[in-house]
Structure 1
Amino acid sequence: PHKVRKTVIENVINNLKSGGEFVMLDYAEFDIDTMPIFYRSIFKTIECKYAYDFIKKDWKQILNEYDFTSFEEHFFIKKYVRLLKAVKK
């Protein structure tokens, strides 16, 4: 759930020095209804209900609210998976 995700971010904030990097490999934001049927069927088969919420979140905005900046992104698997790096202010 998103509440747990916020707790994880707070733990990162509490343990990361200013200028430290937080790197997250997970899904990028996307609309599941517009993805190709092959990928959609895999997603619906293997993912839990929380993944549906996760893909709707703007993680750069969320991390920015926790004073992260200098975002870098690298995409994989047709841009459905993202390596997101953020720097703590």
Structure 2
Amino acid sequence: MRLEQADPRRLIAESYRIEGIGAPECRSIFLDWAIGLPPEVNTRRALKRLLAEYALQNPDHPMTAVLRAGLDDAPVARRRGGAGGRRN
């Protein structure tokens, strides 16, 4: 996958250029990136491509941590309705 496909609006690239950016701002940029990604782009492949491009040079950058977290599996949803949901 080309970098232009993984980050078509260059949001992730620009986040690495912002001095003093923190984790909350990186999460907000990430959400905007994810929502704006074209439907034909595989999100997981795009994340891997972005990490390959930026993570080695910027291992301690908050966006690197956000991109890595994006690759984590989502937690399993559990239903807590009914009497069991009201007790806890």
Q: TM-score, normalised by structure 2?
A: 0.36
Q: Which has the higher contact order (CA 8 A, sep 6+)?
A: 1
Q: Which protein is bigger by CA-based radius of gyration?
A: 2
Q: Counting strand residues as a fraction of each chain, which structure ranks higher?
A: 1
Question: As a proportion of its length, which structure holds more helix?
Answer: 2
